[in-house]
C-alpha cells in the first residue's frame, strides 16, 4: 500500500476534491463527539479557494495531498507558528484507506517539514474524546500537554487535548 502512496503539495485544481473528502470525513467521524450543527459551523469557510490559496507556494505553511493509486485519499495542513514550532492543524485519511499506515506517512511528512525548517517540536490540538487519533499520535511520539477549551463562536466550544512531539536532531 505505502509503495503506491504519494504526498505532494496541493494544486488549486484539487480544492473541490479536498473539500468533498474533508466534508465526508468530518460528517462520518466527528459526529461521535460534536453535534451536526457544530460540524457545519466549523466547516463553513473551510476548504475553499480563499482558505487554501495562501498555502500554495508559501514558505511557512503547507497543505499536502495524499494519493494512493493517483486517487486523493487524505491530506495534512501545517503552519510554522514560530522559528521553533510547527502546528499540525489537520491530518485526515479517508475511511476506506484507514488502518494501512497512511496516517503515519502523513505524520512523517509533517515531521520532515518541521526538521527541514529547523523546528524543535510539532504541536496539535485534537478533540479530547477522539480516541483513535489520540492513540495514533501517542504511537508517533506525541505527548499530552493538557486540555484546553476554546470558544469558537456561534455558541460552540472545542474541548481539545494539546499534544506535542519534541524533535531530535539527526
Q: Convert the pLDDT of each residue in 134-161 to its tens digit.
A: 999 999 999 999 999 999 999 999 999 9
Q: Convert the pLDDT of each residue in 28-59 to its tens digit.
A: 888 888 899 999 999 898 999 999 999 999 99
Q: What contacts 99, CB < 8 A, 6 or more positions away?
A: none
Element (H or E) spanning 8, and its range? strand 5-9
- Distance between CA atoms of 91 and 78, rounded to whole angstroms? 9
User: What pLDDT is recorded for position 170?
Assistant: 54
3-state secondary structure of 101: coil
User: What pLDDT is recorded for position 169?
Assistant: 67
Ordered by start, the domain boundaries in the chain are: 2-125
- What CATH class is the domain 2-125? alpha beta
Average pLDDT of the residues in 69-98: 95
* pTM metric for this prediction: 0.91
Asked whether the CA dihedral 144, 150, 152, 154 is positive or negative, the reply is: positive
User: What pLDDT is recorded for position 125?
Assistant: 97
Amino acid at each position: 500500500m505505502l509503495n503506491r502512496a504519494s504526498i505532494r503539495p496541493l494544486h488549486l485544481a484539487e480544492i473541490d476534491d479536498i473539500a468533498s473528502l474533508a466534508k465526508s470525513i468530518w460528517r462520518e467521524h466527528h459526529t461521535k463527539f460534536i453535534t451536526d450543527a457544530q460540524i457545519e459551523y466549523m466547516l463553513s469557510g473551510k476548504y475553499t479557494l480563499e482558505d487554501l490559496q495562501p498555502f500554495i507556494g508559501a514558505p511557512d505553511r503547507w497543505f499536502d495531498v495524499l494519493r494512493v493509486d493517483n486517487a486523493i485519499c487524505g491530506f495534512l495542513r501545517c503552519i510554522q507558528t514560530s522559528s521553533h514550532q510547527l502546528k499540525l492543524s489537520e491530518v485526515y485519511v479517508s475511511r476506506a484507506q484507514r488502518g494501512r499506515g497512511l496516517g503515519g506517512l502523513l505524520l512523517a511528512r509533517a515531521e520532515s517539514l518541521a526538521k527541514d525548517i529547523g523546528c524543535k517540536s510539532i504541536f496539535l490540538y485534537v478533540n479530547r474524546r477522539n480516541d483513535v487519533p489520540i492513540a495514533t499520535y501517542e504511537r508517533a511520539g506525541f505527548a499530552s500537554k493538557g486540555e484546553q477549551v476554546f470558544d469558537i463562536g456561534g455558541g460552540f466550544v472545542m474541548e481539545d487535548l494539546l499534544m506535542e512531539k519534541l524533535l531530535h536532531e539527526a
